[in-house]
Structure 1
Amino acid sequence: MKAEEVIWFLDCQRHDYLNHLQVISGLLELGQPARAREYLKEALRFIETERMLLKGHEPELGLFLYRFWQKVRAFEVDVKFVRIEETFEDQLSGENLVYDLDSIVEEIGRSFSGSLVEVSVLATDCLICLLASGRGKRLELTYDRGVAGVR
């Protein structure tokens, strides 16, 4: 992983955690402890998703999924991972795997901006397939040996 990528990941985490603390602090200052508790539950779900993506999978896939999740949030897309299936004989190939997401993220953003998207993932040694559904639409997005595609 390049230094710029490490900085990007750390900045995402710092920004998200600081935002959670500011929202909770603001709700408490406004005398709304019930809303603060609800937001805290939401923040904990967010942190658990982050942990699941980064720790629960083969490292290259975890980085790919985490970056995907972070980038689609910029389009106000809420992602719910409903299934992640991995079948690896060797370590997932693709040194530039986490850098080749832009076309996939942009397509998800255009198709599902402002909505909840359910995503299923199938990952093998050289292929990652994301099935995204929401708003009555369904997209199949693939990353195969360095080439990203959308169907």
Structure 2
Amino acid sequence: MTQGWWAWLKPLSPAVLCLFFSAVQPWGWRAGIVLVSLGILAMLIGVRRLYEREQARFRIREAETSLGLLERKRHDWMNHVQVIMGYLSMKQIDRIRPYLEQLVKQAQRERRLSQVKHPPLAVALVSLPHRFPEWDWEVEIGEGFQSIPSLEAERICRMVEEAAEEMGRIVPPEDRTTVRFRFDKREDGVIFSVHVSRARKVLAKGDWDRLKKRTESWQGKFQVSDGGFMAEIPLEGGRSPGNRLLSWGR
């Protein structure tokens, strides 16, 4: 902890020393002005160094995240190649075409997601299956969603990240479970639907409670339905309470 504080204070230490000596120096006000000026200059330089250091750390974290996603993507495609090679070795040629068609549909969905005009939201949607591989993800968007305004896109991006984070905390069942996110743009707003297959069997009471609290933090209404759950979120900071932004269901 001490080293952490020192790492932050070290670039600012010259400024702190100059300001300290300006207060205790015995040479008069002229020397004080010089020391204060040097302290302000040192403060600006120190803040710039802190900013550059944090920017470098941010770039490293972004690069590590990108490398992790690329590694996951490579791993997924190697699995697909192994499946196809297995069909070839067992002379089950008739099963290759449906498998390739499934991969083509997946690539088409990812292409549509990448066309969302708000890059952070597009990245969040495309990377969901790779960041949370313990679930089988189906992410779809309706017509017109790509051109959603930036302010709404940023809000939806935060909701997607928080919803995915909650799913990441849930212990996945032994059987593969599908989580489906779908976005539809309507005249009165955007509907964000989340479907969890076999939700009653997959989600424990603690999971329901966390999802309920998360929904309430979005100023939304949480309702448990048969086999699933639903949350209604108002658009534009609550100015349109009749609009549904987020709808969870089975």
Same fold (TM over 0.5): yes
Three-state SS of the structure 2 residue aligned to 1:79 is strand
Give the equivalent residue in structure 2 for 1:55.
115
Which structure 2 residue ranges, 5 or more long, are not aligned?
A: 1-58, 199-226, 234-247
For normalisation by structure 2, the TM-score amounts to 0.43
Question: Which residues in structure 2 correspond to 1:16-35 (within 5 Å)?
Answer: 16-35=76-95
Which structure 1 residue ranges, 5 or more long, are not aligned?
A: 143-150
Counterpart check, 1:81 vs 2:147: no
Question: Which residues in structure 2 correspond to 1:34-113 (within 5 Å)?
Answer: 34-75=94-135, 77-81=136-140, 83=142, 85=145, 87-89=148-150, 93=154, 103-106=165-168
Give the equivalent residue in structure 2 for 1:138.
229
Displacement after TM superposition at 1:107 (Å) = 5.8
Displacement after TM superposition at 1:105 (Å) = 3.0
CA distance in 1, matches of 2:99, 2:164: 30
Select the structure of larger CA radius of gyration: 2
Counterpart check, 1:7 vs 2:98: no
Give the number of the structure whose residues are more often strand, by fraction: 1
Letter in 2 for 1:106: G
RCO (CA 8 Å, sep 6+): is it higher in 1 or 2? Answer: 1
Letter in 2 for 1:55: Q
CA distance in 1, matches of 2:97, 2:72: 23
CA distance in 2, matches of 1:72, 1:139: 22
Residue by residue over 1:64-99, the C-alpha shift from the partner in whole angstroms, topping out at 9 and shown as x without a partner, is 112223334423x342525373521569559x9697
Three-state SS of the structure 2 residue aligned to 1:4 is helix
Displacement after TM superposition at 1:114 (Å) = 2.9
Cα RMSD (Å): 3.9
Residue by residue over 1:27-74, the C-alpha shift from the partner in whole angstroms, topping out at 9 and shown as x without a partner, is 111101001112111122222222222234421111111222333442
Q: Percent identity?
A: 21
Give the number of the structure whose residues are more often helix, by fraction: 2
Residue by residue over 1:80-128, the C-alpha shift from the partner in whole angstroms, topping out at 9 and shown as x without a partner, is 525373521569559x9697665233267759x73334322379xxxx9
